[in-house]
Amino acid sequence: MIRIITLSILFWCCAPGNNATAQYYFYDNNYYDNPLVLEVGGSLNAMNCLTDLGGASGIGARFFKDYNGGKTKPAGGIYASLTYKNVLALRLEVTRGSVAGEDKVLAGVTDIAKQRFNRNLNFRSSISEIAGMLEIHPLFLVIDWEQRDEVPPRLSPYVVGGIGFFSFNPQGQVPNSNQWVDLQPLSTEGQGFPEHPDRPVYKLKQMNFPLGGGLRYEISSLFNLRAEAIYRVLKTDYLDDVSTRYINPAEFAKNLDPAFANLAVIMADKQIVKITPPNGGGKRGSPSEKDAYFSFNLKIGFILGRERAR
């Protein structure tokens, strides 16, 4: 899809009357502004997630009602974007960060959320992402500043969306220790077990769909500053290794090596007070809603393509 969009823009730029190499107005007293410019830069991010773990008091809800700000983690990235006449931009971005969640954030609640506190699960995961996105600037889409013979605004809001691929690896903390272990190989909800054919082993590399918006401010003819928020729609409910129901602990010994089976029993059920049926079937997570992660980003970019006036 990214290749098709790129070719379309290049065709448009190179078509008669749209010469991409022609300078179409002065950016300032020192630089011409070309229709097609390249921006490369870096990003400092704050990353968080929305999963089955933690959340707010009351019944678990979608989106930011269950946001736990204390679990925000630092992240970063690099990007390159190709912008046509400040209207459309194709962006390729690489991001590295981490997410985490735990039920202990609900300590002290007295309502239905106390069940989540009693569940006593936690997780952490690194995140690596590469995404291709299309950026649209409405102020330049609806107003032809060149035609109006006006100086374009330095501040431009935009919306952005695309497709990405990310890797993750949820880990859980072993009770009463500082040890963290990978959770996916333990099949904590019977993923891949013949007793649960509807629960396949989840993949640690998957597709996502970034959506968001931001503000771009042109510091000068050579530098842009951006502030944006990006929400990633996921196809998995196992970012935190929690999705559906507890299984019978005896199934671990039947399907896993002894060392893994013993650890899986511990990590699958860490309830403070055992209130679920001992043979499995009790609610562990909510499969009706997929997990998500998001970031707030501050970017600075260097502009290539504007030519010095002579």
230 alpha carbon, distance to own chain's centre: 7
Q: Quick check: pTM over 0.85?
A: yes
Domains by residue range for the chain, with CATH: 2-8+36-308 (2.40.160.20)
For the segment 96-113, what is each residue's pLDDT rounded down to a tens digit?
999 999 999 989 888 888
| Lowest-confidence pick of 14-18, 118-122, 299-303 | 14-18
pLDDT bucket at 232, cuts 50 / 70 / 90: very high
The pLDDT of 2-10, averaged and rounded, is: 44
Question: How far is it, in rounded angstroms, from Cα 301 to Cα 41?
Answer: 4
* Selection from 79, 73, 183 nearest residue 127 by Cα: 73
For the segment 161-173, what is each residue's pLDDT rounded down to a tens digit?
999 999 999 999 9
Question: How far is it, in rounded angstroms, from Cα 197 to Cα 193?
Answer: 7
Please work out, in degrees rounded to the nearest 5, the angle formed at the alpha carbon of residue 165 by the alpha carbons of 163 and 171: 135
From residue 258, how far is each of 186, 241, 294 by CA, in Å?
Answer: 11, 21, 38
Q: How many angstroms separate the first and last alpha carbons of the chain?
A: 39
- The amino acid occupying position 24 is Y
pLDDT bucket at 66, cuts 50 / 70 / 90: confident
Question: Number of H helices and number of E strands within the chain?
Answer: 5, 13
Question: How far is it, in rounded angstroms, from Cα 89 to Cα 135?
Answer: 5
Average pLDDT over the chain reads: 87
The pLDDT of 16-24, averaged and rounded, is: 40
Q: Is 80 helix (H, G, I), strand (E, B) or coil?
A: strand
Residue 130 pLDDT greater than 60, yes or no? yes
Question: How far is it, in rounded angstroms, from Cα 287 to Cα 243?
Answer: 5
* Selection from 237, 233, 229 nearest residue 75 by Cα: 229
